[in-house]
Amino acid sequence: MFEPLLKEPLNLLSRADASRKIANCKLKMETKRSFGQYMTPATVASFMASLFPSPSNKNIRLLDPGAGVGSLTSAFVEHLCKDKTGYCIDVDTYEIDSVMRSFLEKNLDLCETTAAKSGGSVAWRIIAEDFIIEASKKVASLNSLWPEKVHKYTHCIMNPPYKKISSASCHRACLRAAGIETVNLYSAFVALSLLLLEKGG
């Protein structure tokens, strides 16, 4: 029903918003519930991105955990590109769901094109893994005697899933190994992301 919208020459965020509506119709009821798939509309994404002050360092490492179709990264890129300052943005997106990832890929491609037109750049990765498991491993390593080299982020924008974590789950065990005790995914995403931000990030 919304597919024709994607063919029009929309700006970055409007396009992400059109794909949000299409993806929403394609998601299964079961994954909506189990992955907490409630996406951010463009107005809210744009407001969230506007809260970031203009960074003094042009090299930005952005984390978008549970990225969905990429609305928040699109809003972030649009926000930083509007004054044509030439930021180099390196983005890691984590997304567990393949339906979301197909839209995410197209929207990140458009972020790359838009940034290039404004004299900057976007390099992106889609990490098709469970963020809790992957980020817990990184944080546990940072806390170990022989920490692996982890590239920390300067910025993070997110709207994580809201769902309870059962006490016997794999998520709970991974989080515990990273020194985090919490009972819902939302606070787990926030706690892990904070630990992956560089000082002042």
Ligand X SMILES: C[S@@+](CC[C@H](N)C(=O)[O-])C[C@H]1O[C@@H](n2cnc3c(N)ncnc32)[C@H](O)[C@@H]1O
Give the interface with ligand X as residue ranges (CB under 6 A). 35-40, 66-68, 71-72, 94-97, 100, 130-132, 159-161
Tokens of 161: 């899933």
Pairing of strands 121-127, 88-94: parallel
Distance in Å, CB of 52 to ligand X, minimum:
15
Q: What are phi and psi of 27, to 5 degrees?
A: -70, 145
DSSP state of 198: P
Closer CB to ligand X, 81 or 158, in the complex: 158
Q: How far is the CB of 15 from ligand X (least distance, A)?
A: 14
- Are 72 and 94 a contacting pair, CB within 8 Å? no
As a whole number of angstroms, the distance between CA 32 and CA 116 comes to 34
Nearer to ligand X, 131 or 153 (CB): 131
**Cα–Cα distances in angstroms (integers) from residue 83 to residues 4, 46, 74, 115, 191, in the given order:** 30, 15, 15, 11, 32
* Closer residue to ligand X, CB minimum distance, 115 or 135: 135
Pick between residue 32 and residue 117 the one whose CB is nearest to ligand X.
32
> From the CB of 172, what's the least distance to ligand X, in Å?
13
Residue 25 or 145: which CB sits closer to ligand X? 25
156 φ/ψ angles, rounded to the nearest 5 degrees = -145, 135
| Residue whose token pair is 């309870």 | 164
Between 118 and 137, whose beta carbon lies closer to ligand X?
137
Half-sphere exposure of 54 toward its Cβ, with a 13 Å CA cutoff? 9
CB of 31 to ligand X, least distance (A): 7
Amino acid at 72: L
